Amino acid sequence: MSEVLPTTHESRNASYGAIVKDNIKDRLSSFKSGFRLGELSGSLGDLGTLLPILLSLVLTGQVDLTASLIFGGVWNILTGIIFRIPMCVQPMKSIAAIALANEMSRGSVMAAGMSVSIAIFILGATRTIHLVKRYTPMAVVRGIQLGTAISFAGKAAKLVKTDGTFWGSSWDWADNYEWAILAFVIVFLFYYRAKRIPVAMIIFFGGLIIAFIKLYTNPPEGVNYPKIGVYTVSVTVPTSEEFKHGFLSAGLGQIPLTALNSVIALAALAQDLFPERPASTPTISISIGLMNLVGCFFGSSPFCHGSGGLAAQYRFGARSEVSIIVLGSLKIFFGLFFGSSLTGLIKCFPSSILGVMLFISGIELGAAARTVNDGVYDDQKRHANFIIMITTAGMLSGFSNDGIGFLGGMVVALCFYLGSRIGGTMDNDNTGVHKEEHLEQSQLEVAAASSGNHDDPSIRKTAIHESEHATEPVQLEETRPARV
């Protein structure tokens, strides 16, 4: 017996070591095989959200571009290693909008980001976020995704219209409707070939060439030119008054937006797209909390994850952590060696092309809403889910507030629940489909869909593999009663 115990202990250590070794080997193999044009193109998919917000905050002096690039790149790499999916890192939209509208100081903006991160971190660390997820109907989550998609589409249209013109006296060759139409056509022409044709890369580098030409031929007044060097960051410590002002003015409204769209809706979308690598809500919450409690002390833009960014990067070809690790490395490089001198180049980038990229991220996120009734065969329940989803989306986009959309959807869901408890089942809506026939038809459709081979669907319900082959459907013999 004395010889068995050490042997057992050594075998356990050996097994743990083998697990760690296999995990590292699997990650290295996945990273190596992930270097494809589709991954590199997908890494640029979220620039339609990132660049306009970041540039607006940089030009007003409310965030530091060098710190935002460096810390944004660090978070890209870390989230890629942790989640192993193309988890985006993007600025907090509500804080950015309020900061720009109210001309908040840099300290107040940093305080707003820190306060939101503290709240989200506590929700994740205490697992309280599970309660929010548990009691939030999936129809409300899909409504948040759909409403965010509609909001993205509206913001994309504003970006295109900012400097967009057709031929005329005010026509600008570098930023016009023609470039937007061309980018729009290219995206949808190769919409289902994103893994093989780097659409986002083509569009981005086309816009970058235009920006370079405009910067050195007809630059805006007072613009900065890219200058290589070593750029550093400085510490930003908000005062108590700035912390109070930042939290009450911008942070408080960002908390529900981050909890719903950047955590719960993101986790649901990650489960749809990457069921073999699900991202838990507590881990996402802790990730958001840590990134801003560090970065905001150095003037970095308040960052979060987002379901829209994940949808955009997936649509443009990203399928693994390779895309955002490469993107993060590029951000760190340009932040360290070009830093704030890149503001002029970013400012010259065509907003018409950025608007198209933002629009695509919106419709890809909205496509997730079509799964709201997956697995639901009762027609009345399907109708109720659709009403809840539309109500949530309509109020979110109408009021431009995720919290109001969430409350509207929850109120409708609660009213439906109480109505069924008090008054019994809902009245028949006379769809003309019998429940048994509808159930059998739905099951046949699900079976047919699972046996088919679809090229690059938007929402996946099975694990993603590099090579997929259609399998012959299994034919079931009809069972007959045995003859006596």
Q: What is the pLDDT of residues 228-243, one digit of tens each?
A: 999 999 998 899 999 9
362: its two tokens: 């919106």
pLDDT in tens, 394-435: 998 888 877 888 899 999 999 999 988 886 665 554 444 444
- How many whole angstroms separate alpha carbon 135 and alpha carbon 148? 21
Residue 8 has pLDDT above 70, yes or no: no
Q: What is the torsional sign of CA 283, 250, 367, 432? A: positive
- Look at 460 and 207; give whichever has higher pLDDT: 207
Task: For 345-380, write each residue's pLDDT tens digit.
Answer: 998 999 999 889 889 888 888 888 888 998 888 888
pLDDT at 304: 92
pLDDT over 90 (residue 108): yes
Looking at residue 425, its pLDDT comes to 61
Distance, CA of 324 to CA of 130 (rounded, Å): 27
- Within 8 A by CB and 6+ apart from 222, the residues are none
Query: Given a cut of 90, is residue 111 above it in pLDDT?
Result: yes
Lowest mean pLDDT among 21-35, 276-290, 464-478: 464-478
What's the pLDDT tens digit per position in 128-154?
A: 998 888 888 989 989 988 988 898 888
Plot region of 96 (φ>0 → left; ψ -120 to 50 → alpha; else → beta): alpha
d(CA 119, CA 285): 9
The answer to whether residue 335 scores a pLDDT higher than 80 is yes
Higher pLDDT, residue 84 or 31: 84
pTM (global) more than 0.85: no
What's the mean pLDDT in 149-164? 83
Ranges of each domain in the chain? 32-368
Burial class (CB in 10 A: 0-12, 13-18, 19+), 222: exposed
Angstrom CA distances, 412 to 90, 143, 235, 384, 397, stand at 31, 12, 47, 9, 17
How far is 359 from 370, CA to CA, in rounded Å?
18
Q: What is the mean pLDDT of the segment spanning 375-393?
A: 92
Q: Above 90 in pLDDT, residue 74?
A: yes
What residues contact 48, with CB distance under 8 A and at least 6 apart? 156, 159, 312, 354, 355, 356, 357, 358, 359, 360, 361
Mean pLDDT for the chain overall: 82
Q: State how beta strands 303-304 and 90-91 pair.
A: antiparallel
User: Model confidence over 170-203: pLDDT tens digits?
Assistant: 788 888 899 999 999 999 999 888 777 888 889 9
- The residue-averaged pLDDT of 13-26 equals 68
Q: Given a cut of 80, is residue 5 above it in pLDDT?
A: no
pLDDT confidence band for 300 (50 / 70 / 90): very high
Residue type, 296: C
Quote the tokens at residue 81. Answer: 């290693």
* Residue 241: per-residue pLDDT: 93
Name the residue with higher pLDDT: 18 or 121.
121
Other Cβ atoms within 10 Å of 376 Cβ, number:
15
CA triple 365-366-372, angle to 5 deg: 110
Cα 118 to Cα 82: distance, rounded to the nearest angstrom: 20
